[in-house]
Amino acid sequence: MRASATQEETFAKRISQALARARLDADMTQGQVSEALGVNTETISRFERGHTAPPLFRLFELAEVYSVPPETLIAGGEGRSLDPARDVTALNVSR
């Protein structure tokens, strides 16, 4: 089973917004984050704009830099644990 492109885009958008919010809450610039991770500033910008989804290992690095739990970024900044049953139900994936 695979989520539709629209659902993937929605998920990517949710993560990108959470990344931008967490960076601002940490009072950091994209340049500071890119320096901390050893990546180009454009990489951070692309993550925050939703043009590129960060790989899982990078989400964990970003969470550490922002001093937030990784699930905060994955859940879209909702600040609570993921509810897998709700997320699966929301996908409305049909066989």
Residue 88 belongs to a domain = no
**For residue 64, which of 95, 93, 22 has the smallest C-alpha distance?**
22
pLDDT per residue as tens digits for the range 12-33: 889 999 999 999 999 999 999 9
92 is a domain residue: no
Distance from C-alpha of 44 to C-alpha of 21, rounded to nearest angstrom: 13
Q: pTM higher than 0.85, yes or no? A: no
91 falls within a domain: no
Dump pLDDT digits (tens) for 44-53.
999 999 988 8
Which CATH number do you get for residue 30? 1.10.260.40
Number of structural domains in the chain:
1
Task: Examine residue 89 and state whether it is found in any structural domain, yes or no.
Answer: no
Q: Is residue 43 part of a domain?
A: yes
